[in-house]
Structure 1
Amino acid sequence: MTAMKAAVPLYQDLASRLAGLIRAGTFSAGDRLPSVRQASREHQVSITTVMEAYRSLEDQGIIEARPRSGYYIPPPVLDLSKLPTAAKHSTKPLVIAQTSIFQSVMDLAENRKVVPFAAAAPDESIIPSAKLASITNAVMRKFKSDALRYTPPMGRRELRIALSRRLLVAGIKAGPDELITTHGATEALLLALRATTKRGDLVAVETPTYFGILHLIRDLGLRAIEVPVCARDGMVVDALEAALKKHRIAACVVQPNFQNPIGSVMSPESKKRLAKLSESHGFAIIEDDVYGELSHDGGRPSSIALYGGNVIHCGSISKTIAPGFRVGWILPGIYQQEVKRLKTIQCPWNATLSELVVAEFLDAGGYDRHLRRIRQLYALQCARTRQAVIQHFPVSCRVNQPAGGFVLWIEMPAEFDSETFTVDAVAKGISLVPGTLFSPSGGLKNCFRLSCGFAFGPRTLDAIATLGRLAGKF
């Protein structure tokens, strides 16, 4: 007589069924699993059984727990062979040229008649419109006509106090009188470059980097030296150090946290090395940290300022709260007086109502709760978009796996022409940004950027499938 087969514990049976659903695609990378109570009702088992099943799946690495948030399907294991390679870069100073396709891309960036892969901006579903409207009404009742008056160059003290508290999470200890508010991060970067350079100076800049930085450098009559970016670890500090042995660099513009367009994060060791280089070689670090709050795992990376150096920290709420408020800031450090002088000349009056609303939202409007929600959304949208790109594009494509933010960088074979690809995509009702706009030397022609800031859905999937077919023709 054969021995009776031992009964499988109920929690193991549930874990096995859930794992099967995950493998079948019912739940995808970035998806949140049903809450313990909901799963208990759906599967008609006890809460204890669900918790044990979830713990079993977590132990196997199939799901992950996020504090105060629930259980999620983690992103796929990082496949280094699918990540974009570090860009080939020029080791000589460059004069940045005007790119003819730039204006066409910008004209389409916020055009919702096309699928807006070009716009690195939050979707309207991400902007907390109702909360902001409520705060705006409360601010008008409290401040009355004072909310509509000019605000001096330093900005509203209420906002500078709120920012001073908020920046502590990045390791920045600065009083409100050390901060100056700006019209978004672009004005902050412009002030930082004007305060630290003069026409003809050399500025170290990442490649690829946000094209707005390149335009500021060009329009100020500055030259650029390229420093490549690693898809995992950010700016390659070894390359910067090599450049410093040959050239006198006045400033280095860097996005250390969730770099646009690569999505990388510099390690604490790399940040410390960069800070020490700025001290020993006498250049300013201009830190563009607009994506710093948008970690996909909830951890806020530190500012380079934590490690010393001549750091000018720049930020804004455009990616986290609402781009239309045009609220940013600059922490000039040793350049405080010069930045204040330039701000007084360049744009002396700030957006008073916007600053008061943002100050209230940061202090008492549930900003941390809002961040938890949008971090999850961005992580999910990036994971789904990346998965669709891998599924529909030629196998030769490489795509980053960002640790935060909401942009994807796709690298195609060397013969690929991203500018022609962009024109073809627009003809199909899809906008994107060719890699040439992110390169000081006009390289990266075989790369392009897709934004995942807008809601993922059937329209997104159809657009990616279309792009994949177009890419296959090159």
Structure 2
Amino acid sequence: MESTRYEMLANRLAELIRGGTFAPGDRMPSVRQSSHEHRVSISTVMEAYRRLEDTGLIEARPRSGYYVKAPVLSEARIPTTAAHARKPIHIERASLFEAVMDTVADPRVVPFAAAAPDDSIIPKAKLASISNALFRKHGGAALRYTLPPGRRELRVAVSKRLLGAGIKASPDEILTTHGATEALLLALRATTKRGDLVAVEAPTYFGILHLLRDLGLRAIEIPVSPHAGFVVEALETALKKHRVAACVVQPNFHNPIGGLMPVEAKQRLAALSERHGFAIVEDDVYGELGHDGIRHPSISLYGGHVIHIGAISKTLAPGLRVGWIVPGPHFAEIKRLKSIQCPWNATLSELMVAEFLEAGGYDRHLRRIRQLYAVQCARMRQAVVSSFPDTCRVNQPLGGFVLWIEMPAAFDAEDFAVRAMAENVSLVPGPVFSASGGLRNCFRLSCGFAFGERTLDAVALLGKLAAR
């Protein structure tokens, strides 16, 4: 009789999931709540949930509960590994980039272009409380400049956080920065000279390409797989013909692909770094945003000449402009460059972040936003699949909050972005993420802002534009 009950409950819940009562990414009622609502024992609910897990409808997340899984698309609906230029490239300015970014702050525009947390996600009340407490404690000193290497309180807190990624860096081995972009600039300035060749992902975060261009560096594109991130084999091939000074990589929850480099790939990349003598610039700003809650290791755990970069722009509050860099043997040079380039950090921001990391419930905050981003990515992805032509492909990010859309080869993403902006919807076209100006049939959508009817309407509108 008991087995009949759990089968009946599992079938009923499966109907509710397929009917849309529980959407992809939604948290299922707790075991105790389901026991009360359906008037069955806790053991019956547990068996029903296990049955739903076995059929792939839900998944358990540690210390969080059960969640509805997003439908698994066939491989034909997943983006392909990007085509890439195999020769060194002098990067040119992306003409559409400034126009797209100009729309981000316009409240009339649906901000699919902005890879940043929504205002509702930022823990404003807690940060305000911390700020008030810091003013009471430090007075006007909280508004002074902070010189490199940065407030020790923050460097201590970051040192503790980095242990989760396998990085054993003392506070004296860490420098704080104005966000991750300054850290990237410092890393490139310390490891390259004008005209050097840098390995970059295809696609990659566009800010990296802007830095390479302004520093007079050339790029060699390395493709990124939606499943396994950076394709190390392609770098091995490039190294047979070219000398690379540095390699910039996002190993954990890549922007914009969302992929995750497996341990074996990280080990191979670290070995290549040691063999060929190039620096690995590890951009890990999405590293703590895995949808499953797992903190994946830094490449530096496996050796190599790694400069690790992190920030709170995606996890806490981008406007605080707080990042950090673990320069390894380049510490003295990067500190010197920082002292020349922009020596004054914001004391209040650094103190606020240090306090939040140490005593503000950062892990609890991360658990909340990981679940939220997983839900929003799943819902947005489902909306894209439902609204766009069957020829579109969309990634299944394992972390972070961006989607990468691939359309047929003849699709013009830049023209599509212009048409979308005319309808007050912003997005970032693929060529902005490419050193060679490729990826013209691709674009990125951010799932970082609050999901609702406005989001669904905007996706439906984009689907109609794409169908034309």
| Normalised-by-shorter TM-score class | over 0.9
Query: Per-residue deviation at 1:8?
Result: 6.5
Query: Per-residue deviation at 1:147?
Result: 1.3
CA RMSD of aligned residues (A): 1.2
String of CA shifts for 1:110-159, please: whole Å, max 9, x gaps: 32211100000001111111111111111221222221111111000000
Query: Per-residue deviation at 1:49?
Result: 3.0
2:375 paired residue number: 380
Return the letter of the residue paired with 1:90: A
2:331 paired residue number: 336
2:45 paired residue number: 50
2:385 paired residue number: 390
Is the 1:153–1:343 Cα contact (8 Å) retained in structure 2?
yes
Give the direction of change, closer, same or farther, for the CA distance of 1:57–1:468 in structure 2 (3 Å limit): same
Q: Determine the C-alpha separation between the residues in 1 that align with 2:106 and 2:277.
A: 43
String of CA shifts for 1:435-465, please: whole Å, max 9, x gaps: 0100000111100000000111111111111
| More divergent stretch after superposition (139-148 vs 268-277) | 139-148
Return the letter of the residue paired with 1:19: A
String of CA shifts for 1:69-101, please: whole Å, max 9, x gaps: 111112223532211111111111110001111
String of CA shifts for 1:392-426, please: whole Å, max 9, x gaps: 10111111100000000000011100010001001
2:135 paired residue number: 140
Return the letter of the residue paired with 2:458: A
Q: Determine the C-alpha separation between the residues in 2 that align with 1:12 and 1:274.
A: 48
- Say whether 1:19 aligns with 2:14: yes
| More divergent stretch after superposition (79-88 vs 298-307) | 79-88
Q: Determine the C-alpha separation between the residues in 1 that align with 2:2 and 2:219.
A: 69
Identity within the alignment, %: 72
Is the 2:58–2:68 Cα contact (8 Å) retained in structure 1?
yes
Is the 1:147–1:352 Cα contact (8 Å) retained in structure 2?
yes
Return the letter of the residue paired with 1:117: F
Q: Determine the C-alpha separation between the residues in 2 that align with 1:236 and 1:71.
A: 33
Return the letter of the residue paired with 1:36: V
Q: How does 1:436-451 map to 2 (within 5 A)?
A: 436-451=431-446
1:3 paired residue number: none
TM-score, structure 2 as length reference = 0.98
Query: Per-residue deviation at 1:218?
Result: 0.1
1:190 paired residue number: 185
How many residues of Structure 1 are paired with residues of Structure 2 in the alignment? Answer: 468
String of CA shifts for 1:254-309, please: whole Å, max 9, x gaps: 00111110000101110111111111101110010000000011111111111111
Match of 1:274 among 269, 278, 303: 269
Match of 1:105 among 100, 109, 114: 100
| More divergent stretch after superposition (22-31 vs 150-159) | 22-31
Is the 1:153–1:347 Cα contact (8 Å) retained in structure 2?
no
Q: Determine the C-alpha separation between the residues in 2 that align with 1:143 and 1:388.
A: 49
Is the 1:192–1:286 Cα contact (8 Å) retained in structure 2?
yes
Return the letter of the residue paired with 2:316: I
2:62 paired residue number: 67
Q: Determine the C-alpha separation between the residues in 2 that align with 1:360 and 1:160.
A: 11
Match of 2:343 among 348, 351, 371: 348
Query: Per-residue deviation at 1:65?
Result: 1.6
2:298 paired residue number: 303
- Say whether 1:423 aligns with 2:402: no
Give the direction of change, closer, same or farther, for the CA distance of 1:236–1:365 in structure 2 (3 Å limit): same
1:256 paired residue number: 251
Which aligned runs of 4 or more in structure 1 are off by greater than 6 angstroms? none
Return the letter of the residue paired with 1:374: I
1:364 paired residue number: 359
TM-score, structure 1 as length reference = 0.97
Listed as ranges, the gaps of 5+ residues in structure 2 are none
Q: Determine the C-alpha separation between the residues in 2 that align with 1:7 and 1:55.
A: 14
Match of 1:178 among 173, 177, 201: 173
Secondary structure (helix, strand or coil) at the match of 1:370 reads: helix
Return the letter of the residue paired with 2:48: A
Q: How does 1:206-285 map to 2 (within 5 A)?
A: 206-285=201-280
Q: Determine the C-alpha separation between the residues in 1 that align with 2:9 and 2:78.
A: 35
Q: Determine the C-alpha separation between the residues in 2 that align with 1:120 and 1:372.
A: 19
Is the 2:62–2:293 Cα contact (8 Å) retained in structure 1?
no
Match of 1:313 among 308, 316, 326: 308
